[in-house]
Amino acid sequence: MKDKVVIITGASSGIGKALAFEMGARGAIVVIAARSRDKLAEIETELNMKGITTLAVTTDVSVEEDCRNLIDSAVEKFGRIDILINNAGISMRALFEDTDLKVIRHLMNVNFWGTVYCTKFALPYLLKTRGTLAGVSSIAGFKGLPGRTGYTASKFAMQGFLETLRIENMKKGLHVLIACPAFTSSNIRKTALAADGSQQGESPRNEEHLMKAEVVAVKIANAIKKRQKILVISLEGKLIVLLNKLFPFFMDRMVYNSMAKEPDSPIK
């Protein structure tokens, strides 16, 4: 990672923030992007104090011009892009029949279109460096999660998009990584949207028992180094993916029962 220019979206908290410190610790030049200017400034200061060369660019990935500006700013400052990690994301928790369509639209705009926009503008530079295009997806990109229709749909779309880009560019040296953590201790559940588009506020899961963002960051960094194509993080996730291929209808029931056990679950 020495002197590689790495762009990380959704870098103000959770996995994105952990990735910024992990990649920086490995010698990378880190470009961090998120909507919160104040949080980015704090993280930029922390990274600089550790001797990590950093550029913070305030970015709403659901806005095409923000994504263009992010890529242009990185290239203007450092002259190249070696790695783009599409990490910015938002979740939801509600039955589809109760959900306002604006919620689904917003999740697609952030999770899917945010990946498309950033990738579109970064791709010419990644092809020049034979670099890495990564997307932080989810087990929801392999198996539909009841009560999270918009989230699941956006992750299926994201993975299909990235997989297609891998195939299109397989003779051009582009490395494409789809990273799928299991439930991770991060801010995404607290900011998840309810049926009316308001923030959920509290996590339905015990965060202490979830995988730590720093652990996920290490695994993703290692996968980038090894140029892996797919990274399913956690034994639980690997079992879900495998069993869903072998016994899909059995897994429908298992996933339904698991999600129904969450506190205040919309699944009955």
CA distance 126 to 84: 8
CA distance 59 to 138: 22
Query: Which is the catalytic residue, given 117, 125, 151, 256?
Result: 151
Q: Is 125 a catalytic residue?
A: no
Q: Residue 9 phi/psi, 5° resolution?
A: -90, 160
Query: What is the chain written as a DSSP string?
Result: -TT-EEEEESTTSHHHHHHHHHHHHTT-EEEEEES-HHHHHHHHHHHHHTT--EEEEE--TTSHHHHHHHHHHHHHHHS---EEEE-----B-B-GGG--HHHHHHHIIIIIIHHHHHHHHHHHHHHHHT-EEEEE--GGGTS--TTBHHHHHHHHHHHHHHHHHHHHTTTTT-EEEEEE--SEESSTTTT-B-TTS-B--S-SS-GGGSEEHHHHHHHHHHHHHHT-SEEE-SHHHHHHHHHHHH-HHHHHHHHHHHHHTSTT-S--
The answer to whether 112 touches 63, Cβ cutoff 8 Å, is no
Residue numbers annotated as active site? 151
